[in-house]
Structure 1
Amino acid sequence: MGILAFKWAAEGEGNNKLTLMMNRDNYVSRVISGASWNSHILSGRCEYNNGTWFAISKRGRVAFLMSVTLIVDDFEPDSGCELYPVKFLESNLSPQEFAEQMVQRDGTRQCGWSYSLIVADMNSNSMVHIRKPDKSQPNFMIQTVPFGVHTLSPFEGLDSMTEPKDVHLKHRFTQMISGLGNNPQPQLEAFARRSMCSPGEGTMFTDRMIIHAVSEGLHLHGTTSTTALLVKHSKEVIVFERFRNNNSVWNEHEFHFYHSE
């Protein structure tokens, strides 16, 4: 499902509340739209089940997902962990309440899923990580995410120290955000293009032919979307997305808005 780094900052710490850089990796044949507004929620959506890997709302709520299940294109038409980001944004539950209710209500139905989900409310300064590490076992971890720089891995969850790619991204991301000034958008977009979604040594971009888990034929699998997010303490939100469609044509979108209390 890709790779992700983010900084979650306390009130009064710098200009920015949340800074995020995320790659989505999947089979290129899977039809996923670019980011767009659906009522008060901004996200891309998969045509098969209307699920998403990243969503943010005008109410100041955000959710992002890494999943081993989605890497191998193991999805269900009307269910799946990729439906949880929008469910959280549509709810009025706190991140902790949402996590506890989700596990209590759906825990036994999640056989075959493996994922790490972050849900956060900017207005209450609350961020929670929900992790189901084992596809075959109904074991869950719920943890409050402390302020600081973090990575999220589909294989190792929050702050992996065993995956070299996650460690490398954390280092590069930390260097990048330390130089963000009063006009951060150009630096964010440059990092996204240079380090996340362009081929080359040391980048996070992937592109390879692998055997599809269902059809068993060789299919192109790799980075199909890069999302950069900046939420300022002033409640200004900047979203930059670079994604490629099923014809491998890259497109870019930018969104600017203010979230409410």
Structure 2
Amino acid sequence: MGIVAFNWAREGNNQLTLVMNRDNWGNRVISKASWDGHILSGRYEDSKGTWFAISKRGRVAFLMSRTLLDDDIVPFRGSEFYPSAFLESNMSPWEFAVNVQRERDIQNKLSYSLIVADMASNSMVHIRKPEKDEPNVMIGILPSGVHTLSPLHGLDSEIAVRDTFLRDRFTQMIGHLGNDPLPQLNEFASNYMLSPVGEGQETVFVEEMANHPDLDRALGMQRYGTTSTTALVVIRTGEVKIFERYREENGQLTENNLPDFTFQDN
């Protein structure tokens, strides 16, 4: 389903710095990020769910899901509807997490890690349902610092090489960000997140042909791989700078020209 590295900072110029790869099966048509009212997100065209969303109200949500990794998507149901639901609500991140936790009885066969954050209140919460067949939904306030998120290993894995390698590289990169962070983020996103060559080490880019996991649909061999990279920085002034490169249906990687924007009070 992908991987995320992000820095949630209590102090300094940048409140949130993030890079994210989305990986999916080739049978899925997924739109580039675009505005729908006050919400910016990409969408699964068949279900209208999303893995990342940010609003002009200063709310952010992003998702990693084992269910989506298995391409188990049901229209209008699933963890991929939680990002938009949070952005459209007036609940605090903690209130939203408690509400999701109460819904555990309707989350059968779902497995996900979800981050919801409100920039104005400086609040970020992690919502985790690790097992598809277990009802437990765990919630917790996220401390400041550098974190990773992935579909199989959740938050801040110390055992997954892909997660630890990205965290190390991302930490090095953000240590050199200056007053104009987007060029360095763009370079990191383009030259590392989208690079199939890991410079002799583990890479986070995915590109392979494999049997589709849903045997009932008999889709056979499909491409599974990285189809978009997002880089984002939220400056404490409320200004948001965002970069996206996405894979078109012909396989070409294209930059999505998203202008900077500033959070609004309502």
AA partner of residue 19 (structure 1): T
Match runs of 1:47-196 below 5 Å: 47-104=45-102, 106-196=103-193
Write the distance in 1 (CA, Å) between the matches of 2:26 and 2:119: 33
State yes or no: 1:250 paired with 2:248: no
Q: Give the deviation of 1:249 after TM superposition.
A: 1.6
AA partner of residue 92 (structure 2): S
State yes or no: 1:236 paired with 2:233: no
* Sequence identity percentage: 58
1:23 aligned residue (21, 24, 33): 21
Write the distance in 2 (CA, Å) between the matches of 1:229 and 1:184: 9
Q: Is the CA contact (8 Å cut-off) linking 2:162 and 2:203 kept in structure 1?
A: no
Q: Give the deviation of 1:77 after TM superposition.
A: 1.2
Write the distance in 1 (CA, Å) between the matches of 2:9 and 2:212: 40
Residues 59-79 of structure 1 show CA distances to partners (whole Å, capped at 9, x for unaligned) of 000000000110121000121
Q: Give the deviation of 1:199 after TM superposition.
A: 1.5
AA partner of residue 177 (structure 1): I
Query: How many residue pairs get matched?
Result: 258
Match of 1:203 in 2: 203
Write the distance in 2 (CA, Å) between the matches of 1:46 and 1:28: 12
AA partner of residue 132 (structure 1): K
Return 5+ residue gaps in structure 2 as ranges: none
Write the distance in 2 (CA, Å) between the matches of 1:57 and 1:77: 23
Q: Structure 2-normalised TM-score? A: 0.95
Write the distance in 1 (CA, Å) between the matches of 2:26 and 2:87: 27
State yes or no: 1:227 paired with 2:225: no
Q: Is the CA contact (8 Å cut-off) linking 2:239 and 2:263 kept in structure 1?
A: yes
Return 5+ residue gaps in structure 1 as ranges: none
Q: Is the CA contact (8 Å cut-off) linking 1:194 and 1:203 kept in structure 2?
A: no
What is the CA RMSD across the aligned residues, in angstroms? 0.9
Match of 2:40 in 1: 42
Q: Give the deviation of 1:28 after TM superposition.
A: 2.2
AA partner of residue 246 (structure 1): E
AA partner of residue 251 (structure 2): S
Q: Give the deviation of 1:255 after TM superposition.
A: 2.9
State yes or no: 1:218 paired with 2:221: yes
